[in-house]
Structure 1
Amino acid sequence: MRCPICHHSCRIQRTWIITDHLRELTRCCKNSECGHVFATHEEYIRTIVEPVAAPVVQPNNPSSIAL
């Protein structure tokens, strides 16, 4: 995201998780002459491609290790 004031690139300074699908980010402009600090929201909207079912991983069972 670009700074809405000077249009330089910004960095994320802090992130707060509001819900499982919403975060609030504090961003600051990388332009030292601007120094704008502002808040944005990052939100999950929709799935583009459904994930393939991941294989079920069995927990490690030390008693089943062959010696």
Structure 2
Amino acid sequence: MFNCPLCHSAAHTRSSSQITTETKERYHQCINVNCGHTFVTMESFMRSISKPGEINPVMPHPQTGGQVVMF
């Protein structure tokens, strides 16, 4: 959620596109019916707060019919 830069009401993200692996462009629309401003923001990775010591790869989910029914 992002606030409208014109009226400061909340604005919803309508769509987004990946620019780089660490940057995303987001398209927003103000939810204030008297404003309705549409605008673009950029979201990017800045820094890590905490990193895992070791990343263990996991198996991908089965494509079809791989779930077991549990009763």
Q: TM-score, normalised by structure 2?
A: 0.74
Tell me the equivalent position of 1:64.
Answer: none
Tell me the equivalent position of 2:15.
Answer: 14
| Alpha-carbon RMSD | 1.7
Q: Sequence identity, in percent?
A: 34
| Mapping 1:22-37, distance limit 5 Å | 22-37=23-38
Q: What per-residue deviation string (whole Å, max 9, x for no partner) do you get for residues 9-64 of structure 1?
A: 010001010000000000000001100000000000111101242444467xxxxx
Secondary structure at 1:47's aligned position in 2?
coil
Count residues in correspondence: 59
Please say which structure displays the higher CA radius of gyration: 1
Higher helix proportion: 1
Q: TM-score, normalised by structure 1?
A: 0.78
Aligned-partner Cα distance in 2 for 1:25–1:58: 31
